Amino acid sequence: MLSGLDHLVVTVTDMARAVDFYSRVLGLDVRYRDAQRVDLMLGDTALRLHQTDTDIAPVSATPTPGSLDLCLRCQLPLSEFKQHLDALGIDIELGPVNRQGANGPIESIYLRDPDGNLLEVSRPTR
C-alpha cells in the first residue's frame, strides 16, 4: 500500500536559524515553497520546516519544537563528517557508536539542531 516517505514536518522556533543549520551544517538543499514553508531536501524526501508562530493548517495536535528524534544517513565516512562538525564548532552529544538501523548495523554520531531536536547521523558498517 505505502511506498515511502514524501516529507516530514519539523516545527522550529526560528526559520532562518533552522535553514542555516540544516543547509550549512548538514548540507541539505533548500527549497522555499512560500513564506511559511521551506523544504530541506534529502534525495526525493523533504524535511519541511514550519515555524511555530505561523498559521498553517492542518498540523499535528501538538506541534512542538525539539520533539523530533531523527536518524539521517551520511555519504561521508563518519570521521570526515565529525571533522566537518568540529570545524563548525558543532557539539557532538554521543558517538561514534554502533547501533542497529532499519537495514542493518550502522555507526552513528548524535547532535542537536538549534531547537534541541536529536539528530542521529549514521553510516552502514557492513
pLDDT of amino acid 8: 95
Percentage of the residues of the chain whose pLDDT score is greater than 90: 85
Is the pLDDT assigned to residue 54 strictly greater than 90?
Answer: no
Is the pLDDT assigned to residue 102 strictly greater than 90?
Answer: yes
Active site residues: 120
pTM (2 d.p.): 0.93
pLDDT of amino acid 61: 85
Averaged pLDDT, 58-62: 84
The x, y and z cell numbers of residue 68, run together, are: 523530533
Task: Round to whole Å and give the CA distance between 47 and 45.
Answer: 7
Q: What is the dihedral of CA 110, 112, 117, 121, to 10 degrees?
A: -40
pLDDT of amino acid 37: 85
